[in-house]
A = this chain, B = another copy of it.
Amino acid sequence: MRAVDLIRKKRDSGEHSRDEIAFLVASYTRGEIPEYQMSAWLMAAWLRGLNRAEITFLTEAMLHSGEVLDLSDIPGQKVDKHSTGGVGDKTSLILAPIVAAGGLTVPMISGRGLGHTGGTLDKLEAISGFNTSLTLEEFRRVLRTCGMGLIGQTAEIAPADKKIYALRDATGTVENIGLICASIMSKKMAEGLDALVLDVKTGSGAFMKRKEDAEALAEVMVETGQRMGKRVVALITDMGQPLGRMAGHSNEIRECLEVLSGSGPADLRELSIELSAWMFFLGGKTSDVAAGRELASGLIASGAAFQKFRQVVELQGGDVRVIDEPQRLAQARSAAHVTSSGSGFVASINCENLGTALAILGGGRATKEDRIDHAVGLEFHQRVGSRVEKGQPLATIHYNADAMLAEAGALIAASYEISAEPPKSIPPLILRVIGGSES
């Protein structure tokens, strides 16, 4: 088999066999196919598309480029959640303790933030000492002890994905449903899961701005997971405005602790419970999703989820004092308001720009090498549809570097569209479920 023939085949809209895709991925990962051939194939695949079977073959090939966790020695069902990312999206840190407290195992391998989106690992590292770089052996021990663990991608997990993603990033071949699906699903399937709940975001703060694109990606991911023998559903959820009131790393840990304590903003609580409920249902813990919601709410009310979070922080070396005293988390030196330039209703929010403003303040990365300031953050006071008066605060900026304030402030101010009339409709937080019914 020759790479050039496979490139020509995809260029001419041909369909690859499992063997062909396995050859391409394995040979590229071993360095036997040069980058210039892989990038030509990626562009051909981007433009000609990959069908459902090819996407599954690609996912499998990327999965088997590295280690697949075998957690069969740990009792119970292994379930996880993956989000396509957004602004203020911190549900992982809430639902993992809920679901682990409910008796399932959550072997969560997460990523870092890039561009306007945050990443779970970065948020955890706002807790002093929290070690997200456990070896797979240590990870396994933490999972066995407390039913959850939170680490970053290791070199052993889907190395093909790391190598292919870097190439896609440099060659304009990122935004393709098949390639995105294979990248996400190969890493998640490496966790040795029984079931997976996908949170596919849409709206101004999501990668998939249009609902149709989010649905298409969700359908492909659900089908790929199911073809690989897993129970998978996807929730299409709104990212037309930030999730919760907080963005920024220390800020978000604080808000998670609020929700785990039974308070916190309603939208964040609702989505965390909904995702937990689907995890309970798919993991066989409850006979329907409604029972899953009750179980999740109960585990918050009893304090069991909060104690589970305390346990995992301790097991992974984090400073547990922050759990009870969140003021110990890094705090920015200064704060400033962004106020409304007029009176009326918040008609829309450019949520991506809010994420970009946070990154400008130092709370995000333009490139993978950038360091993050965990202390800086944004606090959002108004949601879409809110009535605001001229001069009323829309958001508060928690910042350290004075030099960045003006740029971030202007971007935030411009992100809020104020209209005389209230918006005709506001999308619900949970738009649709793909791949599952509630019982």
Contacts and interface: CB of A to CB of B under 8 A. Distances in A.
Interface of A: 4-5, 7-8, 11, 34-40, 42-44, 46-48, 167, 169-173
11 contacts: A5-B172, A7-B171, A11-B46, A11-B172, A34-B36, A36-B39, A39-B39, A40-B43, A40-B171, A43-B44, A44-B47
How many copies are assembled? 2
Given A40-B40, A43-B11, A43-B40, A171 B35 contact: no
A47 B170 contact: no
Given A11-B46, A43-B44, A37 B4 contact: no
Given A36-B36, A43-B43, 6 more contacts: A4-B169, A8-B172, A36-B39, A39-B43, A40-B171, A43-B47
A379 B43 CA distance: 45
A268 to B, nearest CB: 35
Given A11-B47, A35-B35, A47-B47, A40 B4 contact: no
A46 B38 CA distance: 16
Nearest to A166: B36
A8 B175 CA distance: 10
A15 to B, nearest CB: 16
Consensus secondary structure, chain A interface? helix
Nearest to A42: B40
A34 B47 CA distance: 21
B7 A37 contact: no
Given A36-B38, A40-B42, A172 B7 contact: yes
Most chain B CB neighbours (cut-off 10 Å) among A36, A44, A169: A36
A36 B171 contact: yes
Nearest to A6: B172
Contacts of A43: 7, 11, 39-40, 43-44, 47
Most chain B CB neighbours (cut-off 10 Å) among A4, A44, A172: A172
Contacts of A39: 36-37, 39-40, 43
Contacts of A167: 36
B37 A34 contact: no
Contacts of A172: 4-5, 7-8, 11, 40, 44
A70 B52 CA distance: 57
A169 B34 CA distance: 13
